[in-house]
Amino acid sequence: MPGHRTYRFALAGLFLVWWAALAIAPKYRHDWMLENALVVFVFLPLIVLSHFKLPLSRISYTLIFLFMALHEVGAHYTYSEVPYDDWSHALIGRDLNELLGWERNNFDRVIHFAYGLLLAYPIREVFLRVANVRGFWGYFLPLDLTMSTSMLFELIEWGAAELFGGELGAAYLGTQGDIWDAHKDIMALASLGALIAMLITAALNAALQRDFALEFADSLRVKERRPLGEDAIARMLAQGGSRPLASKPNG
Instruction: Flag whether 73 is in a domain.
Output: yes
Q: What is the mean pLDDT of each run of 10 residues along the chain (251 residues)?
A: 83 96 92 86 88 93 97 92 93 92 87 94 97 96 92 75 61 51 66 96 96 95 92 89 54 53
Q: In this structure, is residue 70 part of a structural domain?
A: yes
Residue 22 located in a structural domain: yes
CB of 16 closer than 8 Å to CB of 47: no
Q: What is the span of the domain harbouring residue 110? A: 4-221
CB atoms within 10 A of CB 186: 22
What phi, psi does 240 have (nearest 5°)?
85, 15
pLDDT at 126: 96
Query: What is residue 12's predicted lDDT score, i.e. its pLDDT?
Result: 94
Query: Looking at residue 16, what is its pLDDT?
Result: 95
Per the structure, the count of domains in the chain is 1
